[in-house]
A and B are shown apart, each in its own frame.
Chain A
C-alpha cells in the first residue's frame, strides 16, 4: 500500500467517523449526575464525565453533528467555485475572468472574521446555525481558491491546452471533465475544499468558545446543543486546577482529527 492510498484510507475512515457521529448524536445531553462529576475515562468510559456528571462523548457527538454537514457543504461550495474559475480560464472567456477578478478584489478586501460576524449579527434568530456562517466563510475564501485554480489552469496552457486537446478530436466532456479538472485542477480544488472544510470546523469552535467565554449563547447552534468548544472550555479549567484534563485531551484530539482529515485528503489528491 503506497502513501497516497494510506492517506485516502485514513481520510475515508475519519470522514466516516464524523458522519457516523453526526448520525448517532443525541438531540439532548443525558440528565446530569453530580455525584459522578469529574470521573475520568477509566471510571466512566469512553471519555469520562464533565463537572456536572454528563458524559463527554455525548458532547463530542453533538459537536460533530453541529459541524460536519455545514463544513462539508462549505468545502464543496469552494470546490465548485474554484472549478468554475479554472474552466473559465481554460475556455478563454475573458469577460467572465474579468468579473471574477473584480469580485475577488471586492470580497477579499475585508478581514474574513469581521464579515462573518456581521453575517452572524444580521441572521434572523431562527437561522442561527453554522450553515449560513460556513457558507459565508466559503464565499470569502473562494476568491483565493478561484485565483489559484485559474492561475494553475493558465500555467497548463489555458485556452491553448484546450485547443490542442480539441485537435486530438476529444469530446468537450473528456477535455474539461477528465483532462482539465480530473488530471490537472484536482489537486488544487481538493486542497482548497479540504482547507475550507477544516477552517469552518475551526471557525465554529472559535465562535462558540468566544461566546462561552462571554457567557452568551453561540450563534452557530441551539442553546440545547454543545459544541466541541465546550470541551475545550471545560478542559481549559483543568489548566487552572480543575480535574477536567480528560475534556481538554478530547477537545484537542477532535481538533487534531479534523486537521489530519484535511491533510490526508490534500495528500491523497496531490499531483503525481
Chain B
C-alpha cells in the first residue's frame, strides 16, 4: 500500500534528480547553445531555471491537476498530457486483450483442462523473444495489407496480433499456466480441501478464496510484464500507444515526454498494487466473516 502511494511521487523525483546530476544544464538539452540562442528564455518557460526541487514541485502539482508539461523535442511545446491521453487507451486495450488468453490459460490450468504435457509447448513458444514474434506479425500484416495500413481491419489485426505476441512471448503464457496449476496443486493437498471433497464440495471453490491473494499477485506481475512488452510490440507493429511514445521520447531525449509517460506507467503500477491490496483486504474480511464453529448447525 505504501509502495503504491509512494510510486507516482518517487518516480518523477528520481528522474528529476538524475537529470540535474547529469553533466551540463538540462535547458541545454532542449536548446544546445552551439545551435540555438535563447536557452535561458526556454529554461524559464519549461520551469528549468529554478533548480530541481522547484521543477519537481511545480511538475508534480501540475500533474495532480492533469497538466504534464510540454514536449521538449518530439513535438516541442505541445502539451504532453494530450499525447498521453491519445495513446493511453490503445495501450490499455492492448494490455487487456493480451490478458484474455492468459486468463483463459490460468482458468483452464486451475480446472485441470490443460494437460501438463502441453507445458513443454508453452515453454518452447515462450522462449521466443517478443521482438521476433512481433516481427513475424508485422510482416504478415504488411504483406497482406501494405506497409502503411494502420486503420480498419489492418489496425485491429495489428492490435490482435500484438496482444497475442504479448501473451505468448518471453514465457508469459507458460508462467501463467504452470504457476496457476502449481498453486492449485499445492493447495488441494491441504487437509481442509480433502475434508471438503469428502463433503462432496468442489476443491477449486474451496481453494480459490485462499489462493486469491497469491493469484492476484501473479496477475499483477503478468500485467507489468505485458506493459513492459508493449514498448517492443507497439513500435514493431506500429501501434500508436504509450510504449511507442515512451520509446520515441527516449530516442529523441525528450525528458518532458519520458517523465510524463513514466509517471503514467507508475500510476498504472500503483493502481495494480492498490487493486492487489484491495483483494487481500476483501479476502481477509471474508475469512473473518466466516461463521464461528459455535454458530454452525449441529
Contacts and interface: CB of A to CB of B under 8 A. Distances in A.
Contacts of B269: 109-111
A214 B135 CA distance: 14
Nearest to A232: B135
Q: Is the interface of A mostly helix, strand, loop or mixed?
A: helix
A199 B142 CA distance: 28
Given A122-B15, A255-B129, A213 B227 contact: no
B135 A114 contact: no
Interface string A106-143: 10111111100110111010000000000000000000
A105 to B, nearest CB: 5
A114 B130 contact: no
A118 B15 contact: yes
A216 interface: yes
B231 A122 contact: no
B250 A110 contact: no
A232 B232 CA distance: 14
Given A206-B129, A236-B139, A239-B143, A110 B251 contact: no
A54 B71 CA distance: 39
A109 B232 contact: no
B265 A211 contact: no
A111 to B, nearest CB: 4
Nearest to A217: B251
Contact of A124 (B22, B170, B221, B227): B22
A209 interface: yes
Nearest to A213: B235
A84 B247 CA distance: 34
Contact of B265 (A106, A111, A236): A111
Contacts of B231: 113-114, 117, 210
A252 interface: yes
Interface string A219-246: 1000000000100100010011000000
B18 interface: yes
A202 interface: yes
Nearest to A102: B3
B208 interface: no
Contacts of A219: 250-251
Interface residues of B, number: 50
A184 interface: no
A114 B129 contact: no
B44 to A, nearest CB: 23
B59 interface: no
A125 B198 CA distance: 67
Contacts of B239: none
B232 A206 contact: yes
A209 B22 contact: no
Contact of A110 (B11, B22, B235, B253): B11
B232 to A, nearest CB: 5
Interface string B229-254: 10110011000000100111111110
B265 A105 contact: no
A252 B136 CA distance: 11
Contacts of B258: 117-118, 121
B132 interface: yes
Interface in B89-125: none
B22 A122 contact: yes
A114 B15 contact: no
B228 A112 contact: yes
A239 B139 CA distance: 6
A105 B7 CA distance: 11
A168 B255 CA distance: 60
Contacts of A252: 132
A94 to B, nearest CB: 20
B236 A202 contact: no
A113 B169 CA distance: 14
Given A106-B3, A202-B129, A259-B127, A113 B23 contact: no
B262 interface: yes
A114 B262 contact: yes
A205 interface: yes
A209 B236 contact: yes
Contacts of B142: 239-240
Contact of A210 (B247, B249, B270): B247
A117 B143 contact: no
Contact of B228 (A111, A120, A236, A263): A111
A255 B128 CA distance: 8
Contact of B232 (A105, A113, A199): A113
Given A108-B221, A205-B129, 18 more contacts: A106-B3, A108-B224, A109-B224, A110-B7, A110-B262, A111-B225, A111-B228, A111-B265, A112-B224, A113-B228, A117-B231, A121-B253, A202-B170, A210-B236, A213-B235, A236-B139, A239-B143, A240-B139
List 3 tightest A-B contacts by C-beta distance, closest first: A111-B228, A202-B129, A239-B139
Interface of A: 105-106, 108-114, 117-118, 120-122, 124, 199, 202, 205-206, 209-211, 213-214, 216, 219, 229, 232, 236, 239-240, 252, 255, 259, 263
17 contacts: A109-B224, A109-B273, A110-B11, A110-B224, A111-B269, A113-B231, A117-B258, A118-B258, A206-B129, A210-B231, A214-B247, A232-B135, A236-B135, A239-B143, A240-B139, A240-B147, A263-B127
